[in-house]
Amino acid sequence: MITELREDDVQIFARLSSIIKRFNEFIDRYSPNELKNKWKVNAKENTVIFCSALHGWGFTLKQALERGFKFRDLIDIYKNDYREVKRIFPLGSTLAEVIIQKCLNPIDSQKKRIKYLWEGEMEDSLIECSKDGNTIFYVSKAVYERGRIFVTARVFSGEVSVGEYFRLNNGSKRKLRGLFMLKASKIEAINSIPAGHIFGAFIDARPGDTYSKVPIKGRFKQPIYLAYPVLAVAIEPKEFAKYNKLQEIIKRICIEDPNIAVEVSKETGQILIYGIGELHLELVVKKIHEEVPVFCSKPMVAFRELVVDKVEETVGDVYILIEPCIDLSQEIINIVDNEVEIRGVPINKRMAIETIIRETMKNGPRIGEPVIGAKIHIDAKENVSEEEILKALSIVLTKLSTKIIQPYYKFSISVSTEHIGRVINELSARNAKIETLTRNEISELEGIIAVLRSIGLASRLRDVSQGKASAQLEFVGFKIVSRSEEEEVFKYIASRFRDYMTQSG
């Protein structure tokens, strides 16, 4: 804001106020009702730190008022030597002060929040954050380190030491090796660590895993990722001999980043990497390219096909019903996995048939994109073979009616008022729907835009505003493609294949 956007103190205040407002709106949307007001932040209550992590300074409103320090003073200091701000307001001290004053200690905090995090039977030691009970820990982060997985985890009950633990997500056992206390950028080897602490360790685990010393009927709820992978890039190694190494790198990245999804393209055989946005994919591909040089496509939008009508058919001894399981009257459609129910078939065959059905539904009848929102019911008479069931299913699928749906972002744009006209023109050219517009020193626009039309938006906004516009894009769901939009989608999908053929040639 100071060195790049060169905003004045009034504009800086307006932009920071906008960020705080958006954060509180996020809390309003996703937090439990009884915690909304407690979790919202307010500069007057010292729950906001104005800081630069890069330059190592930070202050609260209270600290600024005590010193008579204003944003204008901050701008003046940056004209000379920004290190002076770090001397006055070292970020480490400010952060520690706010944590001590505003955050509950681990024991009191766990008593209040465990009911929102845990599902199933709950032991007293889990509620009390006691080191005397069964050892339970939760993995929040995993990184690949020299062929091993290093995790960051928190002990919620008991005391963690090296040894075997049950993964409560599926009942399997995992060996925990090498236990460490995490101290900022440093680690210290330790023998054990009690409830209430965060630690690092080597264990074959993933973010969202719950581990226990003994099997119990409960676990921490799976994390809910608000982002959805709606963009993809196709990659392939420049040297085919490095294909296996590329697969290993992708496997490692998927462990570290749960927002990444990977599959092989039906059209080209390339590896498709799905991410939550252009910048996300750009960073992932850059990381891969540093180890294995790759060819990379332009970002591709993840369309879906939505079941809209019921299909019912009896083929021989097999009855099949496919119907929508999504309310089609909604303007914004949240993605829902297909539901499969199979009767009259032994469980060992049932699981294999369900796997084949789910794979089949990844290739829709209209544009070859995955079909969602289907409830599939199969009722077979005794001794019917798998081949008969799958043959009947293929007949029913030829009669399946779907509509194309495309993903949408909600956008929040902050821009200097002098450039608001150019930003509105750019959004209009992309058929974006502006829902709210607030004019101030820093104007704010909110609305929705098709992901297809958002590609390149962030960089384009910087161009038309001389760098004084910032945009946040958040996936909100899918919308049914209108008849007038279908031709554009068909052309877009055809162009993806042509671009690949040109690149391959």
Q: What radius of gyration do the chain's Cα atoms show?
A: 27
Confirm if 179 and 189 have CB atoms less than 8 A apart: yes
Give domain limits for the chain. Answer: 9-102, 111-220, 231-300, 304-400, 405-484
Measured CA to CA, the distance from residue 456 to residue 471 in angstroms comes to 11
Measured CA to CA, the distance from residue 31 to residue 41 in angstroms comes to 13
Residue type for position 191 = N
- Provide the token pair at 232: 């993809």
- Provide the token pair at 83: 């290190």
Beta bridge partners of 307: 402
CB count within 10 Å of CB 97 equals: 15
Measured CA to CA, the distance from residue 266 to residue 493 in angstroms comes to 13
Measured CA to CA, the distance from residue 200 to residue 153 in angstroms comes to 6
- CA-to-CA separations, 125 to 131, 159, 169, 306, in angstroms, rounded: 7, 11, 20, 46
Confirm if 488 and 241 have CB atoms less than 8 A apart: no
pLDDT for res 4: 62
Measured CA to CA, the distance from residue 472 to residue 458 in angstroms comes to 8
CB count within 10 Å of CB 398 equals: 9
- Provide the token pair at 13: 């205040």
Helix (H, G, I), strand (E, B) or coil at 333: strand
- Provide the token pair at 263: 């599959």
Measured CA to CA, the distance from residue 137 to residue 155 in angstroms comes to 4
Confirm if 396 and 309 have CB atoms less than 8 A apart: no
HSE toward the beta carbon, residue 255, CA cutoff 13 A: 21
Confirm if 477 and 408 have CB atoms less than 8 A apart: yes
- CA-to-CA separations, 161 to 190, 196, 202, in angstroms, rounded: 9, 14, 12
HSE toward the beta carbon, residue 39, CA cutoff 13 A: 17
Candidates 301, 303, 321, 323; CA nearest to 313 is 321
Q: Starting at the edge strand that comes first in sequence, how are the strands of the sheet with 374-380 ordered? A: 311-315, 318-324, 374-380, 339-343
CB count within 10 Å of CB 261 equals: 15
Helix (H, G, I), strand (E, B) or coil at 381: coil
- Provide the token pair at 457: 């938006």
* H helix and E strand count, the chain: 16, 28
Measured CA to CA, the distance from residue 222 to residue 419 in angstroms comes to 43
Measured CA to CA, the distance from residue 112 to residue 223 in angstroms comes to 18
Confirm if 469 and 424 have CB atoms less than 8 A apart: no
Measured CA to CA, the distance from residue 180 to residue 199 in angstroms comes to 6
Q: Thinking of the domain 111-220, which architecture would CATH place it in? A: Beta Barrel (2.40)
- Provide the token pair at 239: 């040297």
Helix (H, G, I), strand (E, B) or coil at 255: helix
Q: Which residue do the tokens 């993605």 mark?
A: 335
Q: Which residue do the tokens 């760098």 mark?
A: 467
Instruction: Answer yes or no: same fold for 111-220 and 231-300.
Output: no
Q: The domain 405-484 is classified under which CATH number: 2.60.120.10, 3.30.450.40, 3.30.70.240, 3.40.1160.10?
A: 3.30.70.240
- CA-to-CA separations, 285 to 231, 259, 353, 460, 493, in angstroms, rounded: 13, 14, 36, 22, 22
Measured CA to CA, the distance from residue 61 to residue 84 in angstroms comes to 18
Q: Which CATH fold would you assign to the domain 304-400?
A: Ribosomal Protein S5; domain 2 (3.30.230)
Helix (H, G, I), strand (E, B) or coil at 300: strand
* Alpha helices in 228-346, H assignment, sequence order: 243-256, 278-289
* 366: Cβ contacts below 8 Å, ≥ 6 apart: 305, 402, 403, 404
Q: What's the whole-model pTM score?
A: 0.77
- CA-to-CA separations, 13 to 24, 179, 357, 439, in angstroms, rounded: 17, 45, 55, 15
Length of the chain as a residue count: 505
Question: Which pLDDT tens digits describe the chain residue by residue (505 residues)?
Answer: 666 656 777 778 888 888 898 899 889 988 888 888 889 999 999 999 999 988 999 999 999 999 999 888 888 888 888 889 899 999 999 999 999 999 889 999 999 889 999 999 898 999 999 999 999 999 999 998 878 999 999 999 999 999 999 999 888 999 999 899 998 778 899 999 999 999 999 999 999 999 999 999 899 998 877 667 889 999 999 998 998 899 889 988 988 888 888 987 666 667 899 998 898 999 999 999 999 999 998 899 999 999 999 999 999 999 999 999 888 888 888 877 899 999 988 877 888 899 899 989 988 999 988 999 899 999 998 888 888 999 999 999 999 999 999 999 999 998 888 899 999 999 999 999 999 998 887 888 999 999 999 999 988 998 999 888 888 898 999 999 998 888 889 888 888 756 654 555 4
pLDDT for res 330: 83
pLDDT for res 72: 87
Q: Which helix (H) or strand (E) holds 29?
A: helix 9-30
Candidates 334, 402, 331; CA nearest to 371 is 402
Give the largest CA-CA distance in the chain.
85
Is the CATH number 3.40.50.300 carried by domain 231-300? no
CB count within 10 Å of CB 371 equals: 22
